[in-house]
């Protein structure tokens, strides 16, 4: 187990390093921020001076090496747009992003998994019908569509909730449900199909023949075996929700990471892009690592492989 853990951590570090290197090079290929930083009256000499001040005139390899050295001191450079350390800008977004991601994912799991199980146990029953309808809407329409509908109904018409913004729980409800619905749809369908498969497998039949109560068959024998792909899916959802909730962040003016990364790329704010991608990569690999360890816990075959 210790060997397995060490190996996985080493792999994670390599992954993060690779991701930072790729983004470091790619963002520099997109363009030079000095055109956006200085007013267009600026001359080429003005821009060159700025490039030197920012260390952009050195070869990319030198710049990357310098970045890694700074990284060891926890320094990710300055955001030119905010005149703030890039890490501070990114850390300011982590709280809101994690709050939204975890709440939506929790909604997704709490709604999706039980519904999936229930509809697998009684296919074509009324629960299955409702679950299918929920899944259909959740997968067919993008989350921002529900976001907009929610705003019109619950904020503009009924005035129950604020239209957008970040603050207390009242601000979280609509974006979390809009995103959670999307996750719930996928999780429900995956749980349902896996459970159906497992429930018809021989060892489940064996358990039933032995007279094990149905509740235990479903939740202990079947669900534990159907859970692996669901867990994988949920961890991937986490990554998607972390950086990919841009449209929901836009509709609800939610100060999240997705919008920050996108805007920073558009404005060539190198330091923020690098910091945001590094932090996201760290979190995502950490989640993956945790999921892998959970696998090992759930499925002994992985542990001893």
Binding site for other proteins (CB under 8 A): 30-32, 35-43, 46, 49-50, 53, 78, 80-84, 89, 92-93, 144-145, 148-149, 151-152, 155-157, 159, 162-166, 246-247, 250-253, 255-256, 259-260, 262-263, 266-268
The distance of closest approach from Cβ of residue 59 to other proteins in the complex, given in angstroms and rounded to an integer, is 21
Judge residue 243's burial from the number of C-beta atoms within 10 Å of its C-beta, 0-12 exposed, 13-18 middle, 19 or more buried.
buried
The distance of closest approach from Cβ of residue 81 to other proteins in the complex, given in angstroms and rounded to an integer, is 4
- 165 versus 169: smaller Cβ distance to other proteins: 165
CA distance 169 to 181: 18
Judge residue 45's burial from the number of C-beta atoms within 10 Å of its C-beta, 0-12 exposed, 13-18 middle, 19 or more buried.
exposed
- 78 versus 131: smaller Cβ distance to other proteins: 78
The distance of closest approach from Cβ of residue 251 to other proteins in the complex, given in angstroms and rounded to an integer, is 6
| Residues pairing with 79 in the sheet | 84
The distance of closest approach from Cβ of residue 175 to other proteins in the complex, given in angstroms and rounded to an integer, is 11
Residue 97 tokens read as 């992003």
- 233 versus 254: smaller Cβ distance to other proteins: 254
The distance of closest approach from Cβ of residue 93 to other proteins in the complex, given in angstroms and rounded to an integer, is 7
Q: Which DSSP string corresponds to 97-142?
A: HHHHHHHHHHHHHHHHHHHHHHHHHSTTSHHHHHHHHHHHHHHHS-
- 48 versus 214: smaller Cβ distance to other proteins: 48
- 84 versus 287: smaller Cβ distance to other proteins: 84
The distance of closest approach from Cβ of residue 242 to other proteins in the complex, given in angstroms and rounded to an integer, is 16
- 53 versus 70: smaller Cβ distance to other proteins: 53
């Amino acid at each position: 187990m210790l060997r397995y853990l060490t190996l996985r951590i080493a792999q994670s570090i390599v992954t993060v390093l690779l991701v930072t290197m790729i983004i470091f090079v790619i963002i520099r290929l997109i363009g030079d921020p000095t055109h956006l930083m200085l007013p267009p009256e600026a001359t080429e000499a003005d821009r060159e001076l700025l490039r030197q001040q920012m260390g952009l005139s050195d070869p990319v390899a030198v710049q990357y090496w310098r970045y890694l050295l700074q990284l060891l001191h926890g320094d990710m450079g300055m955001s030119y747009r905010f005149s703030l350390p890039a890490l501070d800008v990114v850390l300011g977004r982590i709280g809101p992003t994690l709050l939204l991601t975890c709440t939506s994912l929790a909604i997704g799991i709490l709604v999706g998994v039980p519904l999936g199980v229930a509809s697998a146990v009684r296919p074509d029953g009324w629960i299955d019908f409702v679950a299918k309808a929920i899944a259909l809407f959740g997968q067919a329409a993008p989350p921002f569509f529900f976001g907009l509908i929610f705003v019109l109904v619950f904020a503009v018409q009924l005035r129950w909730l604020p239209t957008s913004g970040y603050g207390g729980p009242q601000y979280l409800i609509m974006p979390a449900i809009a995103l959670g619905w999307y996750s719930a749809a996928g999780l429900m369908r995956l749980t349902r199909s896996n459970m159906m498969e497992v429930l018809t497998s021989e060892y489940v039949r064996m358990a039933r023949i032995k007279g094990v109560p149905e509740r235990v068959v479903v939740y202990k024998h079947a669900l534990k075996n159907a859970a692996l792909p669901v867990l994988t899916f949920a961890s991937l959802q986490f990554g998607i929700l972390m950086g990919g909730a841009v449209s929901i962040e836009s509709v609800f003016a939610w100060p999240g990471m997705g919008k920050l990364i996108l805007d920073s790329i558009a404005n060539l704010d190198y330091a923020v892009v690098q910091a945001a991608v590094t932090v996201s990569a760290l979190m995502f690999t950490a989640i993956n690592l945790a999921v892998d360890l959970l696998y090992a816990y759930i499925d002994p075959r992985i542990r001893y492989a």
